[in-house]
Amino acid sequence: MKVVITGGGGFLGSHLCEALLRRGDTVWCLDNFCTGEPHNVAHLRANPRFRLVHGDVTTAFDIPGPVHAVAHLASPASPPDYHRLPLETLSVGSRGTENALRLALRHGARFVLASTSEVYGDPETHPQPEDYWGNVNPVGPRSVYDEAKRYAEALSMAYRRSLGVDVGVIRIFNTYGPRMRPYDGRVVSTFIRQALAGGPLSVYGNGSQTRSFCYVDDLVRGITAMIDHRDLSGPVNLGNPAEHTILELAELVLRITGSRSRIENLPLPVDDPTRRRPVITRAREQLGWEPHVPVEEGLRHTAAWFTARFRPQPEPEPHPLRDPHPARPHPVEA
């Protein structure tokens, strides 16, 4: 197939590019690198089936045909990024999604939207099935990302119902692995970075809030299965149903890295979800997918990647609107 991946230069997008090339597909990667990194895909540029397009999905674009699938992954996806880029986040969820949908419409291509577990907000139903409508604050500090993705889902389904686009929606839960940016503000990268630097691990609240962590290789298998499963609209949760508290994660990172860093408790950010765990029955039954990599194994791979590449630097000064506690970066992962 020929697959267009928006946001293909990001953490997740670059792994998807690799996986599709590995199985013989042709991949066109579109990215403006506002949060992605060119070096994530630099090793792919010698592949004759890979094309890198430096562009912005919020501007109308076309790709020469035929195009068989469009995977729309473009968006800032961590709190520091979408608080730093609030208007851009809303734009890529609205105009960007529509431009990607129009590309799929023109070519009769399968369209897969990478949505997020953030559409469930701070859930009152636990664990979260796809038919749960969520508990989202539409005007809070996290709303630019939550509402952008909720709108993107609604727009995608409208294109499916009104124009017949073969749309599929996946809701991605916390994903981690190699190529995460050390200062991206996600909890796994933050804890590993802090542990390797010997600084305190920033645990917000008492650490009892939970997340479900899925290793990137597992997640990419799920996205690929959704690309291949024509006429499955979803939404389909993709994530690891093994639930861990943030404190458990911090302690596991300390054990894996051998760090002597201490754990520092800080006040909870506004609207921080208390619990997050996916119901993946649809993924199992309709995609034949479930995660295989245990969190400890995945964290070892991730920590080894960071150890080989990370050089401690001074902690960045956070944007005042991004972080209510300016002394520390925000660790909560989208």
- pLDDT tens per residue across span 102-132: 999 999 999 999 999 999 999 999 999 999 9
Tell me: pLDDT of 324 over 50. Answer: no
pLDDT at 314: 52
Split at pLDDT 50, 70, 90, the class of 234 is very high
Split at pLDDT 50, 70, 90, the class of 49 is very high
What is the fold, at CATH topology level, of the domain defined by 2-175+214-238?
Rossmann fold (3.40.50)
pLDDT at 313: 64
- Phi, psi (degrees; rounded to nearest 5) at 166: -80, 85
Average pLDDT over residues 236-259: 97
pLDDT at 316: 52
Q: What is the pLDDT of residues 151-162, one digit of tens each?
A: 999 999 999 999
In three-state form (DSSP H/G/I as H, E/B as E, the rest C), the secondary structure along 226-265 is HHHCCCCCCCEEECCCCEEEHHHHHHHHHHHHCCCCCEEE
**Alpha-carbon gap, residue 249 to 246, rounded angstroms:** 5
pLDDT at 333: 31
Tell me: pLDDT of 273 over 60. Answer: yes
**Average pLDDT over all residues of the chain:** 92
CA distances in angstroms from 97 to 125, 146, 210, listed in the order given = 28, 14, 30
Tell me: pLDDT of 92 over 50. Answer: yes
Q: Would you please indicate which residues are annotated as catalytic (active-site) residues?
A: 145
Average pLDDT over residues 186-210: 95
pLDDT at 315: 53
HSE of 106, CA atoms in CB hemisphere, 13 A: 15
From the CB of residue 312, how many other CB atoms can be counted at a distance below 10 Å?
Answer: 12
**Alpha-carbon gap, residue 227 to 295, rounded angstroms:** 25
Average pLDDT over residues 94-99: 98
pLDDT at 311: 75
> What is the percent of the chain where pLDDT is above 90?
87
